[in-house]
Amino acid sequence: MDAKQKIFVAVDAVVFGYIESKLQVLLIKQKYGVMKGKWVLPGGFVKDEEGLTDAVKRELKEETGITVSYHEQLYTFGDDVKRDPRLHVVSVAYLTLVNPSKHTLKADTDAEDAQWFDVNKLPKLGYDHNKIIKVGLERLKGKLTYEPIGFDLLDKEFPFSDLENLYGTILGKEIDRRNFRKKMLSFDLLQETEKMRKEGSGRPAKLFTFNKQKYKRLAKEGFHFEIKYV
């Protein structure tokens, strides 16, 4: 077969963080090219002989200064052959969750700036990146109900109210707090610490930790994590 393709492969990272009770996404401002001055997702072209996962890790490190361990392939965007005004580019998007307090942003290479943005107050982004974020948000909402990924967005030790607010914020709905607490504690994956946190004028709240190692062990044995909402 005589293949004469001129298609380029890129990766884009949808990095979600949870800051001051708001779900946020990491964006960079382009320093060069047709999207100069535009906010976009971290990402770029895959190098020759470079794997996709290695490419997205490299781009994140180069453009934002952060190193992350969790990546999940989200979706491949390529139906619109003019999604990139320069070339015919197919982008493989990845979903990543981080705790922003553990990372210091540092824009470099072709990124002029790197900042967190409230997912409900996004600017008009370059390329089709508003669409990519929308797909990432829908994936996050779905996974939150059947996999305990939300703990990756919280501090290692947290009051139970932080967990309730996280779920309510991401899902965009009120949750039944009593049933939510009962269900979460029934999994026996939260460990109560001896520490307390004082916030505002209310009573000090107990702090909990999530036992990730126990969850991984139970998951291999067929344990099913599921949170339903009324």
User: Which residue, among 211, 171, 155, has the nearest Cα to 187 in the 3D structure?
Assistant: 211
| Candidate from 47-51, 90-94, 194-198 with smallest mean pLDDT | 194-198
Contact in structure between 183 and 227 (CB atoms under 8 Å): yes
Higher pLDDT, 137 or 228: 137
- Given a cut of 80, is residue 70 above it in pLDDT? no
- Given a cut of 90, is residue 71 above it in pLDDT? no
Q: What residue ranges in the chain does DSSP mark as E strands? A: 7-19, 22-30, 39-40, 43-45, 72-77, 88-97, 111-118, 158-159, 190-197, 205-210
CATH 3.90.79.10 region(s) of the chain? 7-128
Mean pLDDT to the nearest integer, 180-184: 93
CATH 1.10.10.10 region(s) of the chain? 144-220
Please give the torsion angle defined by the CA atoms of residues 148, 150, 155 and 160, in that order, rounded to the nearest 10 degrees: -80
pLDDT tens for each residue of 145-157: 999 999 999 999 9
Give the mean pLDDT of the chain.
Answer: 92
Fold for domain 7-128?
A: Nucleoside Triphosphate Pyrophosphohydrolase (3.90.79)
Which pLDDT score, from 0 to 100, does residue 200 have? 66
Higher pLDDT, 142 or 196: 142
Which pLDDT score, from 0 to 100, does residue 5 have? 82
Tokens of 169: 């914020």
Confidence of residue 1 (pLDDT cuts 50, 70, 90): low
Which pLDDT score, from 0 to 100, does residue 230 have? 44
Which pLDDT score, from 0 to 100, does residue 228 have? 74
Which pLDDT score, from 0 to 100, does residue 205 have? 85
The CATH label, of 1.10.10.10, 3.40.50.10490, 1.10.3720.10, 3.40.50.200, for the domain at 144-220 is 1.10.10.10
Residue 105 CA from chain centroid, whole number: 15
